[in-house]
A and B are shown apart, each in its own frame.
Chain A
């Protein structure tokens, strides 16, 4: 059994209430942190090697130490709970079931950064979670963990929950800040980075829900202890939202460094591919990372097993690797159509592009239309090269990473599954009725017994 840090008490009835959470050792981190100095807390987080859980994997401690601290200017901590990546649902799970873990993490992190006001920006569609969080904040306030003079330490903190409008782009940190300020959620042009001029022009740190919650075990056990879990520079545990054709889809907490094969096939985690089918492809970190065929998902190009860690997943660059992303693990079995799936992702990015900069605004729509044509049997052979070309024109030329996120799935799908795209052009009628199947994407992987 892997160690559980965040979801240790997930099955305790009533863990979403303050009393039960407190009984199970909750808010110890706050008590401990408030006795330390803010710099010591930052140092602990730095030592832990915690990397941002939102997608980019930037070390959280580093991010905190970059925060400008001019005299007399307010600093803000903003929690990015605008989780809208297709395939990712770990933050929603965390907020629904143990909201106090997030509140506790917010208090610790705000104290470390010296923020007197902190915001949790929750995606607009998550109304139940907003109510849960607001109730949790009220409970924490009643118990004296929020408000003026927390636990007699002289530290004041107000925590606010702000519902967003439900735009994917508002998960980008600067767009989130714009939206929080009440403006149109367009990403800002960087630099300046939020650590210098963020919310209302003040230094701001934006962190993912899971990163903030992970500060709780770091403070409780110490940064060094946390750094022992995991592998290499990927330390600690990570929540993975597994979905797709799996026997047991759901949110799992894994120790980083677990092999992909074990995660997919062991009964502790996903339990294998549903209905006795075989694995065709995986998307390892939410829809914006490159899609990988089964053989490359399980093994590196040199034959070593691929591990669930930031380094191992991105091993081989974009030619044979992918990315950890936000941990939205999607598995496709042999009956799934990659062209249709790519079109579906592309449709999402077309719909969610903010329309600020031209390559993303126009290019995502173009890719979506070409993929739609391919999927419905009106494609041409030249369309495939066209898609690669358009995705190259978008990638890297946009203000925010949404352009890259839209381009990568398309480019990688064509890189690895080109024969399937070509089959859609050659056999347009057949492609509508049947699927391409497994072809040669997977080395013969042993069929796993159906467990249910």
Chain B
């Protein structure tokens, strides 16, 4: 017996360490079977379980107890058992429940993507495209809040918030003296600082990166540009407070904003400090590494310079065309 447990997700088996969540096991497999996650954040302890987009069906509990679980479970907070069988995209029940969750997440969302800074890199937008309905069935006035400033660099736009609690966990776990949290209850609960206290510490800017929607935005970048017109570049600097590993977002020769580097699940690799994020906006502050890899699926890659401009010689040669098929498809796709 190895100390690993075997779990089968949508027919694909993998052995993972005991105590791994179903979501993380799925992420180890990768690909389409990974459930979407809006509130879970692997770097934040206690996150997850709230948005319910990652729900999956456990069709076999474990080798010892093969009964299926009675309800759909949140994959981010359910640990795998040996011999567990999970259905994600192969279960119509899960797909339907997930589209229900997406619809419910969107009923009070303002859907102001055209004027939202997050558009193009928004988890909720992606989720809406993948699982949402084309039209809302909600015919009532949406819940609205006043915009508030938390600190001089961050703006909170509660209308767009999906209450994933990520920013609360971030503020709680990577900085001390947390001053913001959830006020009120039910659908009028809001993220807020009590009586508009400013969030003032070296790492407060990370709440912008962890926010899956456009509720927390960088005031130094607000309305400066759309993300798909900017070019992301990985860079680093010698920072005394943080790792200094960032992504710079260029428009022409100007650095419009600085964010932490994100992995394929939109999670920050290493948290960065406010000095790097808000104050170092010149190319000479940074050592450029290479262009950031952006997924083909992302709208940001639509005019990304990783896409190959086919040389004239390729265009006339069928053999070379076949050899460069993947790259050529990218150009024609956009």
Contacts and interface: CB of A to CB of B under 8 A. Distances in A.
Physical interaction between A and B: yes
Interface of A: 167, 169, 184, 189, 350-359, 361-366, 369, 386, 389-390, 392-394, 396-399
A362 B189 contact: no
Interface stretch (B6-14, B99-107, B195-203, B222-230): B99-107
A352 B71 CA distance: 23
B185 A189 contact: no
A399 B49 contact: yes
Nearest to B189: A355
Given A359-B100, A359-B104, A364-B186, 7 more contacts: A354-B189, A358-B50, A361-B187, A365-B186, A366-B138, A389-B100, A397-B101
A61 to B, nearest CB: 22
Contacts of B165: 356
Given A352-B186, A397-B52, A361 B163 contact: yes
Contacts of B77: 189
A361 B52 contact: no
B187 A364 contact: yes
> Among the interface residues B48, B52, B107, B187, which one has the most CB atoms of the partner chain A within 10 A?
B187
Interface string B103-134: 11101100000000000000000000000000
A-B pairs with the 10 shortest C-beta distances? A393-B100, A355-B189, A189-B49, A353-B186, A396-B71, A365-B187, A362-B104, A355-B186, A369-B140, A189-B77
Contacts of B184: 355
> Among the interface residues B51, B55, B104, B184, which one has the most CB atoms of the partner chain A within 10 A?
B104
B187 A184 contact: no
Contact of A356 (B50, B100, B105): B50
5 contacts: A354-B186, A358-B52, A358-B105, A397-B97, A399-B74
A361 B189 contact: yes
Given A350-B186, A357-B50, A397-B97, A189 B74 contact: yes
Nearest to A380: B139
Interface residues of B, number: 32
B127 to A, nearest CB: 12
A355 B101 contact: no
B333 interface: no
A357 B76 CA distance: 13
Contacts of A352: 185-186
Contacts of B188: 355
A351 B52 contact: no
A134 B45 CA distance: 39
A390 B138 CA distance: 11
Contacts of B26: none
B210 interface: no
A359 B77 CA distance: 17
B137 interface: yes
B185 A354 contact: yes
Given A356-B50, A358-B162, A358-B163, A393 B103 contact: yes
B52 A353 contact: no
A167 B189 CA distance: 14
Contacts of A366: 104, 107, 138, 140
Interface of B: 48-52, 55, 71-72, 74, 77, 97, 100-101, 103-105, 107-108, 137-138, 140, 162-163, 165, 181-182, 184-189
B239 to A, nearest CB: 35
A124 to B, nearest CB: 14
Contact of A362 (B50, B137, B185, B187): B187
Contacts of A189: 48-49, 74, 77
A130 to B, nearest CB: 22
Contacts of B138: 366
Contact of A393 (B50, B74, B101): B101
B187 A357 contact: no
A362 B49 contact: no
B50 A350 contact: no
A386 B103 CA distance: 13
A362 B107 contact: yes
B186 A397 contact: no
Nearest to B50: A357
Nearest to B105: A358
A362 to B, nearest CB: 5
Contacts of B182: 184, 355
B55 A355 contact: no
Contacts of A365: 108, 186-187
Contacts of B52: 357-359, 397-398
Nearest to A168: B185
Contact of A363 (B49, B104, B140): B104
Contacts of B181: 184
Contacts of A369: 140
A241 to B, nearest CB: 26
A392 B104 CA distance: 12
Contacts of A357: 49-52
A389 B100 CA distance: 9
B191 to A, nearest CB: 11
Contact of A399 (B50, B140, B189): B50
B149 to A, nearest CB: 23
Contacts of B187: 350, 353, 355, 361-362, 364-365
A351 B49 CA distance: 22
B185 A355 contact: yes
A330 B44 CA distance: 45
A365 B188 CA distance: 10
Contacts of B50: 356-358, 399
Contacts of B140: 366, 369
B55 A397 contact: yes
B135 to A, nearest CB: 13
A364 B138 CA distance: 13
A366 B106 CA distance: 12
Contacts of A392: 100
A184 B189 CA distance: 12
Nearest to A357: B50
B103 A355 contact: no
Contacts of A397: 52, 55, 71-72, 97, 100-101
Contacts of B108: 362, 365
A361 B186 contact: yes
Nearest to B190: A355
